[in-house]
Structure 1
Amino acid sequence: MDINSVSTEGCLQPKFSEKSRSLWNHWMMFGGTVDCNLRMPDLLVEYKHGRLVLAVPLPSRQEKCLFHLRPVLSTVSGFLHDIQKEDPGVLTASVLTTDGVSIASATPINTLLNKEFKLCINGVIYNVQAASTVPSEAVSNVADIKNMVHMLHTALNLPEHHLMKERQLQKKLDILKQELKPLEQMKVRLQKTAEHRSSRALWAGLALLSVQGGALAWLTWWVYSWDIMEPVTYFITYGTSMGVYAYYVLTKQDYVYPDAKDRQFLHYFYKGVKKQKFDVEKYNTLKDELASVEVDLKRLRNPNRLQLPVEQIEPNCHAALP
């Protein structure tokens, strides 16, 4: 067979007479080899219609075929598979570095496009270069592409997930409120009782002080003289000071009237809790769970995540028992 010249299309395959063309293709299909040192004109990665493309010469068809390169989704293995699928006459295909080292098939295309590389098809080596007109965002700005894909995935799937999660949290919130309702009612009754009894204790203290003052006045001016009652009042004052100091020793708190009143309130409250068998531990646990669910709901409805206008978030008013 006669070989006239190398194709101007950049393919390895020479031009044949019509009589010997089928024999050449059959030889290439079933074991024909070509000198691997044979180098062809450089190939150029171009940017067309918003996508990266590479025109690869196909041996059997003696023409170039345009392959789309997807930097994020494609790998070297997928690219070579597309070439062999397009032309069954491609028996061997590999990608090499400029030093001739083979590149792994799992290497992403975006890594491959960072610099020049070589494409070997049936032993013929093509130098592949990125065109200077390729926009940087198409090759090097892969992070933006990944971010766009992530945002698209979020826009398509996240609302449904948010709705499902919100239903679950709302259902749990309703269950917790139902369990807390009887405990809240009992707590309100116990608080009212403790408040009434602590206020009554304050009035009783005022009454005792009034009686004490009246008794001292009666003994001083109607029964005895001031010379006799002065030591008595001194010891009464000293005894009161000892009582206040004893209160500090026992409670580790100063005898301040608001604090003393709150302490008395808690005393009567927990006395009622014990009498009514109110489960304080269960109440506090339910309140903590309720607060946690409400926080999760607020985070789920965060306007920044849902891309909604920012609204005022009220502070959590729920508080557990001391």
Structure 2
Amino acid sequence: RHTSTPVLLINMLAGSQFSFRLATVAWRPVGIAVCHRSLCSVATSASVVYQDGLPRFRIPLPSRGKACQFTMKPLTNTVSDLTASIRNEDRGVEQIIFYTSDGLRIAGSDSIESLLRRDFDVQLNDQRFAVTVPESPVVTHESVDQLADLKAMISQLHSALNTPEYQLAKEKELMQQLQDLQLQLEPMEAIRGQLAEKASRRTRILTWLSLSYMGVQFGVLARLTWWEYSWDIMEPVTYFVGYGTAIACYAYYVLTKQEYTFPAVWDREYLKKFYKDADKSSFNVEQYNELRQRINDVQSDLRRLRDPLMLGLPLQQEKLMKPQPEQQ
């Protein structure tokens, strides 16, 4: 502990007796982390003062008989932080309790800001000290919220004053991007239309062939049942035909990992034909999908820019309102 040169104060008392009082002044450290400690003469009371906008608690430590100063941050520190700092300075403090002036115990989770809103008492072991809180120049949560509202209002005012020019420039930029993307997509769109028509035609042919096969199968079984043979002979045949169809559907699921439904089969056959013809004609499907996605994003930005209600939407809501692009 670094101290300045002690100053010896000599007072004359009755009976020619002298008492010596040793006053020391501690060096003030630089860079306060959680607690700032300042030794002074023997203290008999606790107090709170404000320095540099921060509250400083002057708490008398029972073991040392002297006061220690603790600097806390009102908005981030709690009563538990102050209690931990006191115990860290004086290991002899076994009990630290804060009370309101009405005698209610203050929880350790309360913030320092809440503690300093009214006078309070602090109990150290068996000693209890009343603390008078001075007028607070500290920024509170309410003032922080008011400051945030003021910033938002200034931002809205700035946006309102500069919105027309910005919107016109941004709309012009987006329109130019949209035209460039559409020019790149136009030749690919023509090729995609041809490939889609071929794939759709083949899928329709397969659909009609499947229907024709089912009709022929029904006619053959009916002929064998009522004209060639009897129902007693054809019943096992129809059973195995039905069971074989079920096996074929299950095999389709095992091989494709898709349920055998007519829309799923249609899409699968359509895409198989489309990608097969795309490889033959050197049509880049990934590039086409990327261009479609970019065009969709630009169109969504244009709608948002032209709609005053959508300008105030958060980003996640803006993404949800974008329609999904058409992809192959």
Structure 1-normalised TM-score? 0.47
Of the two, which has the highest radius of gyration? 1
Structure 2-normalised TM-score? 0.46
Pick 1 or 2: higher relative contact order, CA cutoff 8 A, min separation 6: 1
